[in-house]
Structure 1
């Protein structure tokens, strides 16, 4: 995979709780990513979100209903929020090309929700968790890709 780090390229680094929208102010040889927008969602573990006991269908040994995974559902909702934000930015002509960097599951959720207008501008997808990395670490990864 070869990523052309042209000036103005957007890079979205996300996980299930945080997203950084970065714009390259440099070039292919010397990328200089600057934060344009940041999104965060508080998403505690499911055990801290749901307190009810699982429901039951009827009496019997296999009657329990599986607990809702609130943590996973919030990650999916956050992926939808990121996809919506990307659509609004693309629709306003804010970027011509974008690179998505997220864990595989989040990337999959986002991909399902992306509008065609955004999908056409995706230059690359990198299935990694980089939200806790520095901007220079992200620049180095992109340069190496």
Structure 2
């Protein structure tokens, strides 16, 4: 019925059905909201919050980058790991699992996903087809730091 094929949307056309699940997340925080209102007057209510402690890489990894020896006798530097970035990817996969569980347990019919492009890519990779099929819209924005009433306004505002 619905599919993940709809990549970007005209905000004037976004109707969030009653009881739809709205996921708002980034690489550190995820909000699961439910529309308690209707598609004309959404009223988002908090269902779950997931937050990740993810300090900067300089506080997580103290090892110096390694070196590789090539058969020609040359030494090549290995790029240092960006632990902060890696943890953001892991967090997105964890919240994708939580999203799948919530969608399946509550038999959610419509799902709206709001996240920055990098997080959206991680979610696309992690979600199962049955959950992807319930996505009616994805919005390329980072709204995790906004109050819930402002999130609803951002999602339904006329531009």
Which band: TM-score by shorter chain?
Answer: over 0.9
Q: Which whole-Å CA distance do the structure 1 matches of 2:149 and 2:100 have between them?
A: 27
Listed as ranges, the matches of 1:1-145 within 5 Å are: 1=9, 2-58=13-69, 63-144=76-157
Computed over aligned residues only, the root mean square deviation of the Cα atoms, in angstroms, reads: 1.5
| Helix, strand or coil at the partner of 2:77 | coil
Moved over 6 A (4+): none
What is the TM-score of this pair, normalised by structure 2? 0.86
Unaligned runs of 5+ in 2: 1-8
Q: Which residue of 1 aligns with 2:4?
A: none
How many residues align structurally? 145
Q: Tell me if the contact between 2:55 and 2:84 (Cα under 8 Å) persists in the aligned partners.
A: yes
Unaligned runs of 5+ in 1: none
CA displacement at 1:91 relative to structure 2: 2.2
> Which of 1 and 2 has higher RCO (CA within 8 Å, sep 6+)?
2
What is the TM-score of this pair, normalised by structure 1? 0.93
Q: Which whole-Å CA distance do the structure 2 matches of 1:16 and 1:28 have between them?
A: 28
